[in-house]
Structure 1
Amino acid sequence: MNKNQISNVFKSFFVILTLLYSGYSMAQENYTEENTTNFWDKVQFGGGLGLGIGSGYTDISVMPSAIYNVNQIVAVGVGLQFGYLASKNYYNSYVYGGSLITLVNPIPEIQLSAELEQVRVDTRYESNINRPAFSDNYWNTALYLGAGYRTGNVTIGGRFDVLFNDERSLYGSAFMPFVRVYF
């Protein structure tokens, strides 16, 4: 299978999975007094923080997010992303944008996820002996499909960017592990 075929398989899997679980979740909904809770009672906040500092290297990221628990199985939400990455005497890069998040818990211990991320990448390269200074600005779109083990408010797992492009993607690999926490 080539890369496009694999990408199409993942996209089809995601669409089918979303339709199945959203239909299942609606079919299981019972309208009782328990379901008349306040909107904010079903909202959870979380996200991530990142800090990497080395010899001439800095990586700082802040990624807050919020989800709304539609029911015990499905949650939907939004996230923001801000980042700064620098390599001394080479480049400075700013990343900012947002994402749409869907979480599906077919059983309490397993969490499946889909996250559509759109970020702006603004990189300024410094001049050196071999090249003049220049900048590179572009939008990067990623669609992450993931799975993880969930215990309480914490999920540990991995996700795969089905839109990964070696030449333009923000990260060096389509696969990345994650730790997700919501309070």
Structure 2
Amino acid sequence: MNKCMIVLGLLLMTIASVQTACGTDDDPITEKPATPVPNPEGTGENDNSESGNDNKENNDNENNEGENKMNRNIIIHVGNRGFAATLEDNATARAFSALLPMTITMNEMNSNEKYHYLSESLPTDSYRPGTIRNGDLMLYGSSCVVLFYETFASPYSYTRIGQLNDPSGLASALGRGNVPVTFEINND
């Protein structure tokens, strides 16, 4: 009997320590790597959750009436080109729009995206989109803004910030190197 109690006690302590040491796949990664590691599949966290879906709906508008409404129209300037985009109606997009206007240098990765680590974390609600689309504006982790200029399949998780209304010409405007990009609210 004493031996069983000791084994049971050790088992319970092991389970408790494992549960406190491990997060869920939905926990945002808040540490930034010193340098992003290029990944042929695209940037994104490797989570083990079930396959995501391309048509995730965000129902974050329970209390978005009145003062929480925001202008969801932005312009993304690359060189002498301006691209109209529409932000999602979610906490991430609201936090992102509060940072605007801003000009950042976006770094090249995988010949399909540009990314930049913000100095602060944004709220996350990551999911696996399955397919990344040309013109998607996403958040990887909690502080990496990613602008995709190619369409491709991806197993990684992102939080959607917005989408360019017409991404035609985006790839050529962004080029193949690092590039300054300005994001601003479209007040028109």
TM-score with structure 2 setting the length:
0.29
Q: Which has the higher contact order (CA 8 A, sep 6+)?
A: 2
Structure whose residues are more often strand by fraction = 1
